[in-house]
Amino acid sequence: MLRHVIALFAGGLFGAGLFISGMTDTTKVQGWLDVFGAWDPTLAFVMGGAMLPMAIAWLIRERRQTALTGAPLPPKPSTRIDANLVIGSVMFGMGWGLAGLCPGPSIASLSYGGTGTQIFVGAMVAGMVLTPAIRARLDRAAATA
């Protein structure tokens, strides 16, 4: 039960933060990405503000093995730069630049974002569902080559 209450609180706080910061406004996001045009630097504060709590969370993670709910904490992510990371980053960046949305803000704006947001979320979900099968096929092709 505590886990669900914490998840509800964290999700609500995250969604409110995305809305208040303007991350659900596609024109604001695209303005941030338009560094050679009408650049809008305000989202730098949002990103910078997100880094500080995450840095603190990783410091806490080094000292704890379990969450407040008793569940094990996930390991620190790999720092290795490989093809999966680069390809995933490029795909994320292209989607973010074209649509002005990424996964969190797109879900947060589903109720008011209109048809474009619904299409984006549908395409995002399709990509998430299809990616493991495509990855497995590419890995098999690479192994036989």
Chain segment 80-122, per-residue pLDDT in tens: 998 888 988 898 888 888 888 888 888 888 888 788 889 999 9
Q: What is the rounded distance in angstroms from the CA atom of residue 48 to the CA atom of residue 136? A: 36
Mean pLDDT of the chain: 86
66: helix, coil or strand? strand
SS3 91: helix
User: What confidence score (pLDDT) does residue 78 get?
Assistant: 84
State phi, psi for 109 to the nearest 5 degrees: -100, 10
> H-type helices in 1-145, by residue range?
2-21, 26-33, 43-63, 83-99, 103-108, 114-144
Number of compact structural domains in the chain:
1
Instruction: Assign 9 a pLDDT band (cuts: 50, 70, 90).
Output: very high
Structure confidence at residue 81 (pLDDT): 92
**CA distance readout (Å), 59 to 37, 74, 106, 123:** 38, 13, 30, 36
Quote the domain boundaries for residue 45. Answer: 2-144
Q: Report residue 3 as tokens.
A: 């886990």
